[in-house]
Chains A and B, each alone.
Chain A
Amino acid sequence: MTERGAVPRFRRGVKFRFDGVRNAWVLLAPEKLFMPDEIAVEILKLIDGARSIDEIVDDLASRFDAPRDLIASDVITILEDLSMRAAVEL
């Protein structure tokens, strides 16, 4: 079970950047490419190696009109998936 206080960070060699050709954010990893959806992009933008999952959820809850619990569950689902695929460590 992922702790809400955990601080997610991109794993070594993983880059999250905006691609001007596609006009979209991309997550580049060793021999892997992820095209995150809009929700994932908002979460990934907040990963800075300092913010905890709780702080990321707070930030999103202050900007988006959705229940905090729903946002929290989306954040954890997405981060756990990226952790399994070795893009993010928790």
Chain B
Amino acid sequence: MGLIAELTHRCPLQCPYCSNPLALDAPKSELSMEDWMRVLDEAAALGVLQVHFSGGEPMARQDLPMLVAHAAAAGLYTNIITSGVLLTQAAMATLTEAGIDHIQLSFQDVRPADADQLGGYRGGHEKKIEAARRIREAGLPLTANFVIHRRNIERVEEMITLGEALGAERIEIAHAQYYGWALLNRNALLPSRDQLEYANTVVAAARERLKGRIAIDYVVPDYYAARPKACMGGWGNRFINISPSGKALPCHAAETLPGFTFPSVRENGLAAIWSESDAFTRFRGTDWMPEPCRACDRREIDWGGCRCQALAIAGDAGLTDPACHRSPDHHLMAEAITAAANAALDLVPRRLHQN
């Protein structure tokens, strides 16, 4: 089991494919360090083994090293998912001292000018290269994460080469997942089928070449899939996501679902949230499933796919994920691809709208 601790929605970058919700949590609504420490203890007691400090940019929280140390003391495997632009030498030393186990560093591109333009942060790419060097010098494993989309997918080979050069143990080539800001910008980001096939070919060859040395995780876009992904490994099955303001969510995009009241960790214990709350039990397992999921032999493999995508594309969170070829709404995915192919390339940068 994993806990995704979204410490803050603040971020120095403005990536238009961010999967954070459009309505970002205001800084003043964020949980305190004491709240987070209690949540970490409750998570460990519940059987959570790994904590992923995420955001926004988790390093924008000054108390991150204290939280890492607290999690490590509770026996949790600690991971930070970061843009790296705040990972100074001093910050790296503090996190190492705190007992961080792993850092996932995200890149926007391999070409500095394009990377900085997409992230809206001048000099960001250079800082990331520095951050990667610091992570390796601290003796930590490194995952280099590249989010790919229509504008950078043709450089996927150079991305893998950069990951190798940085000494990454893992490289993630992740097609943008179309939730939140990425859904807003879908028409400008969704790759064409030719682009997708090119990326598939490059990744397959690199996996073969790097076998046993560097693991490449490849996340494909649902829009071109015949089968849905087991979103979050099943609803309320493997992950708890806590938003910056303390809402417990079965996945990071769940706040888009209407008709839900997501319990807050300010008022509720994590164990009760996990086992009893409507939010975590409503789509858990197979009892909730409609046809064609209910009779499907893959129902305990993909768990009906993604509830947020069912809502966003098919209009109802309780339907089969339209990414599935057995869904009566599957044609809507192809229509979205066609719409994107004919759309302009304007992007809306992710910005924090403060209340």
Residues of chain A at the chain B interface (Cβ within 8 Å):
11-13, 15, 17, 19, 21-22, 26, 28, 30-31, 33, 83-86, 89-90
Contact between B170 and A83, CB atoms less than 8 A apart = no
B277 within 8 A of partner (CB): no
Can you name 24 A-B residue pairings with CB atoms under 8 Å? Answer: A11-B141, A11-B169, A13-B102, A13-B141, A15-B101, A21-B47, A22-B47, A26-B49, A28-B49, A28-B101, A30-B79, A30-B102, A30-B104, A30-B141, A31-B50, A31-B52, A31-B217, A33-B2, A33-B49, A83-B212, A84-B211, A84-B212, A86-B169, A90-B212
Could you say which residues of chain A place their CB within 8 Å of the CB of B217?
31
Could you say which residues of chain A place their CB within 8 Å of the CB of B215?
85-86
CB distance from A28 to the nearest CB of B (A): 4
Produce 1/0 per residue, B124-144, CB < 8 A to A: 000000000000000111010
Q: Complex formed: what's the CA distance from A83 to B214 in Å?
A: 10
- Residue of A21, A84, A85, A89 with most partner-chain B CB within 10 A: A21
Q: Complex formed: what's the CA distance from A12 to B79 in Å?
A: 13
Known: A21-B45, A31-B79. 12 other contacts (CB 8 A): A13-B169, A15-B101, A21-B46, A21-B47, A28-B49, A30-B102, A30-B141, A30-B169, A31-B52, A31-B104, A84-B212, A89-B212
Produce 1/0 per residue, B193-228, CB < 8 A to A: 000000000000000000110110100000000000
Could you say which residues of chain B place their CB within 8 Å of the CB of A21?
44-47
CB distance from A59 to the nearest CB of B (A): 25
Contact between B170 and A31, CB atoms less than 8 A apart = yes
B77 within 8 A of partner (CB): yes
- Residue of A13, A22, A86 with most partner-chain B CB within 10 A: A13
Could you say which residues of chain A place their CB within 8 Å of the CB of B2?
33
What are the 4 tightest A-B residue pairs by CB atom distance, in nearest-first order? Answer: A13-B141, A86-B215, A21-B47, A30-B102
CB distance from B83 to the nearest CB of A (A): 17
Could you say which residues of chain B place their CB within 8 Å of the CB of A15?
77, 101
Contact between A12 and B211, CB atoms less than 8 A apart = no
Could you say which residues of chain A place their CB within 8 Å of the CB of B214?
86
A-B contact count (CB 8 A): 55
Could you say which residues of chain B place their CB within 8 Å of the CB of A22?
47
Could you say which residues of chain A place their CB within 8 Å of the CB of B79?
30-31
Contact between B49 and A30, CB atoms less than 8 A apart = no
Could you say which residues of chain A place their CB within 8 Å of the CB of B46?
21
Contact between B49 and A31, CB atoms less than 8 A apart = no
Contact between A12 and B141, CB atoms less than 8 A apart = yes
Contact between A31 and B143, CB atoms less than 8 A apart = yes
Q: Complex formed: what's the CA distance from A89 to B215 in Å?
A: 12
Contact between B140 and A12, CB atoms less than 8 A apart = yes
Contact between A13 and B101, CB atoms less than 8 A apart = yes
Q: Complex formed: what's the CA distance from A86 to B211 in Å?
A: 9
Could you say which residues of chain B place their CB within 8 Å of the CB of A17?
75
Find residues 10-68 in chain B having any chain A CB closer than 8 Å to their own CB: 44-47, 49-50, 52
Contact between A13 and B140, CB atoms less than 8 A apart = yes
Q: Complex formed: what's the CA distance from A13 to B77 in Å?
A: 9
Q: Complex formed: what's the CA distance from A84 to B214 in Å?
A: 9
Q: Complex formed: what's the CA distance from A13 to B138 in Å?
A: 12
Q: Complex formed: what's the CA distance from A49 to B75 in Å?
A: 23
Could you say which residues of chain B place their CB within 8 Å of the CB of A89?
212
Could you say which residues of chain B place their CB within 8 Å of the CB of A83?
212
Q: Complex formed: what's the CA distance from A52 to B195 in Å?
A: 46
Could you say which residues of chain B place their CB within 8 Å of the CB of A19?
47, 49
Q: Complex formed: what's the CA distance from A26 to B75 in Å?
A: 12
Could you say which residues of chain B place their CB within 8 Å of the CB of A90?
212
Contact A30-B170, Cβ < 8 Å, known A11-B141, A13-B102: yes
Contact A28-B47, Cβ < 8 Å, known A12-B139, A85-B215, A86-B215: no
Q: Which residue of A lies closest to B47 (CB)?
A: A21
Could you say which residues of chain B place their CB within 8 Å of the CB of A12?
139-141, 169
Find residues 131-174 in chain B having any chain A CB closer than 8 Å to their own CB: 139-141, 143, 169-170
